[in-house]
Amino acid sequence: MNEIKKGIKVPEPTLRRLPWYLAFLKMAASKAETRISSTQISRAINVSAPQIAKDLSYLEISGKTRIGYDVHLLISVLEQYLGFTKVHKAFLFGVGNLGAALLHDKGLSQFGLEILAGFDVNPWVVGTAIQGIPVYHIRDYPEIQLSTKASIGILTVPVQKAQEVAEEIVQGGIRAIWNFTPFRIHIPEDIVIQNTSIYAHLAVMFNRMENKL
Amino acid sequence: MNEIKKGIKVPEPTLRRLPWYLAFLKMAASKAETRISSTQISRAINVSAPQIAKDLSYLEISGKTRIGYDVHLLISVLEQYLGFTKVHKAFLFGVGNLGAALLHDKGLSQFGLEILAGFDVNPWVVGTAIQGIPVYHIRDYPEIQLSTKASIGILTVPVQKAQEVAEEIVQGGIRAIWNFTPFRIHIPEDIVIQNTSIYAHLAVMFNRMENKL
């Protein structure tokens, strides 16, 4: 297998497309296909074939003329490259509606994200467990982090707590924050922030619907 | 209150930022602030003040020099504009990990999305209810849709079923699909598609973490 390029910064649009290719390839594999061309991928998912070839070239994998890509090889290279085969330990902060929902999502662990614990201040949830994941009081976080060393903090607290809790979890040693709040948190440059505000997507969808009436 | 511009296409980046402003304004309101300037918003959420003023101008609301925006007025204009005050009826297709998680997210209804039912084929979930939301067999969808007339379909089926189910629900009369699968579905142009692949965000975050090691 070709070695994966290290230290090369892949453009974010490419990174976002790679999981689409992976999803399509898994579907092809489930239909027992073994070879696939960028043209076939292109037809299925609406990205141009040259773009697909360029995106995949970051993985140093190339399709063979008239033969295409080896489906299983490409799946395993993509999964490895995207970090889905590695276990990333995470804590979730804010076991409210969305937080509890994410604890219910067993799919995350299939993509390499293992949520080890939730934290909250609400006495109704502290001390309980959701899908086997224990929920602790936030004041116990520094101590639990010392022994567990989670690298990712999932931020699902109420918006007015976002900045404060973000600072607290960075203090504890978290290296990346997956921010589901609509608040743009300020955090030291060496911490990775990934913003996923699903309610903003909702607003975009509602607006487009209005415009199509 | 100023009238909201109708039929003007707001750029998507603006639409995505509006919920950030809303989140910040709600926070300000909870601290009993009544007036806010674009400079104050700018400092808090890392968007330039002229950009904020420009974004808000789409709502035909303008800040007064030296006084700024009326916090409560701006909140209500934003909520209305973003469609969060209107009830949008939705069905959810695919009550697996992520689908069940979304049914648990009571926060969605606060943003105007009311999930009325889930659909699946799995005999273990069909006939049950999650957070009071009933789960039906997918074959019952056309009939239930006739009486309920939901406008939004939330797509959380396995990737290999995404296209097929999308076509089925459009057939039934759904006008917008909130696609949580990583598959780029093909659907008639008059149907709104909003793609939210949270696992792709995960890949972007993992990659950035690797690059910061």
Give the side-chain half-sphere CA count within 13 A for A55. Answer: 25
Q: Is the pLDDT of residue A62 over 50?
A: yes
Do A20 and A46 meet the contact criterion of CB atoms below 8 Å apart?
Answer: no
Query: Quick one: pLDDT band at residue B8, thresholds 50, 70, 90?
Result: low
B152 contacts in A (CB within 8 Å)? 205, 209
Q: What tens digit of pLDDT does each residue of B125-167 get?
A: 999 999 999 999 999 999 999 999 999 999 999 888 899 999 9
Spatial CA neighbour of A183 closest among B104, B120, B130, B28: B28
Residue B5: per-residue pLDDT: 47
Determine whether B120 is exposed, middle or buried from the number of CB atoms within 10 Å of its CB (0-12, 13-18, 19+).
buried
Q: Which of B183, B206, B209, B210 to mutate to test the interface with A (most CBs of A within 10 A)?
A: B206
Report B:93-132 residues touching A (Cβ under 8 A): 96-98, 100-102, 104-108, 111-113
Percent of chain A exceeding pLDDT 90 equals: 52
Q: What is the CA radius of gyration of chain B?
A: 20
Does residue B1 surpass a pLDDT of 50? Answer: no
Please give the average per-residue pLDDT across A179-196, as a whole number.
90
More reliable by pLDDT, B3 or A40: A40
The C-alpha atoms of residue B164 and residue A202 are separated, in whole angstroms, by 23
pLDDT tens sequence across A172-183: 999 999 999 888
Residues 29-68 of chain B with CB under 8 A from chain A are 30, 44-47
Confidence of residue A74 (pLDDT cuts 50, 70, 90): very high
User: Which of B192, B193, B210 should be substituted to probe chain A, the one whose Cβ sees the most A Cβ atoms within 10 Å?
Assistant: B192
On whether the CB atoms of residues B38 and B59 are closer than 8 A, the answer is: no
Distance of CA A7 to the CA centre of its chain: 20
H helix intervals, chain A? 12-30, 38-45, 49-57, 71-81, 97-104, 107-110, 141-148, 162-172, 198-212
What is the Cα–Cα distance from B141 to B139, expressed in whole angstroms? 6
Helix (H, G, I), strand (E, B) or coil at B195: strand
> How many CB pairs lie under 8 A apart between chains A and B?
208
Token digits of residue A179: 């921010």
Per-residue confidence band for A7, with pLDDT thresholds at 50, 70 and 90: low
Query: With contact defined as beta carbons under 8 Å apart, do A114 and A140 qualify?
Result: no
Nearest-10 Cα torsion for A26, A28, A32, A38: -120
How would residue B191 be classed by pLDDT, with cut points 50, 70 and 90? very high
Which range scores top for mean pLDDT: A24-28, B149-153, B184-188? Answer: B149-153
pLDDT per residue as tens digits for the range B50-75: 999 999 988 877 777 677 899 999 99
pLDDT at A51: 93
Return the pLDDT at B148: 94
Mean predicted confidence (pLDDT) in B78-99: 92
CB contact (8 A) between residue A202 and residue B112: yes
Mean pLDDT throughout B199-203?
89
In the numeric block, the tokens 């800040």 are attached to B63
pLDDT greater at residue A66 or residue B123: B123
> What gap in Å lies between CA B22 and CA B18, rounded to an integer?
6
Residue A3 pLDDT grade (very low, low, confident, very high; cuts 50, 70, 90): very low
Assign domain B12-82 to its CATH architecture: Orthogonal Bundle (1.10)
ipTM topping 0.90: no
- The DSSP element (H or E) to which B119 belongs, if any, is strand B113-120
Q: What is the mean pLDDT of chain B?
A: 89
Distance CA A193, CA A35 (A): 37
- Checking if the pLDDT of B4 tops 70, the result is no
Scanning the structure block, which residue is given the tokens 């639990």? A144
Does B197 contact A at CB distance below 8 Å?
Answer: yes
Give yes or no for residue B39 having a pLDDT over 70.
yes
Beta bridge partners of A179: A155, A195
Per DSSP, the three-state class of A130 is strand
* Shared fold status for B12-82 and B88-200: no
Contact of B4 with chain A, judged by CB distance below 8 Å, is answered with no
Q: What is the mean pLDDT of residues A2-27?
A: 76
Report how far residue A183's alpha carbon sits from residue A159's, in angstroms, rounded to the nearest whole number: 6
Model confidence over A117-171: pLDDT tens digits?
A: 999 999 999 999 999 999 999 999 999 999 999 999 999 998 888 999 999 999 9
The mean pLDDT of A71-99, rounded to a whole number, is: 92
Angle at B155 between CA A84 and CA A52, to 5 degrees: 50
- Would you say domain B88-200 falls under CATH 3.40.50.720? yes
The residues spanned by each domain of chain A are: 12-82, 88-200
CB B178 within 8 A of CB A201: yes
Query: Which H helix or E strand runs over A89?
Result: strand A88-93
- Output the six-digit token pair for A11: 């453009």
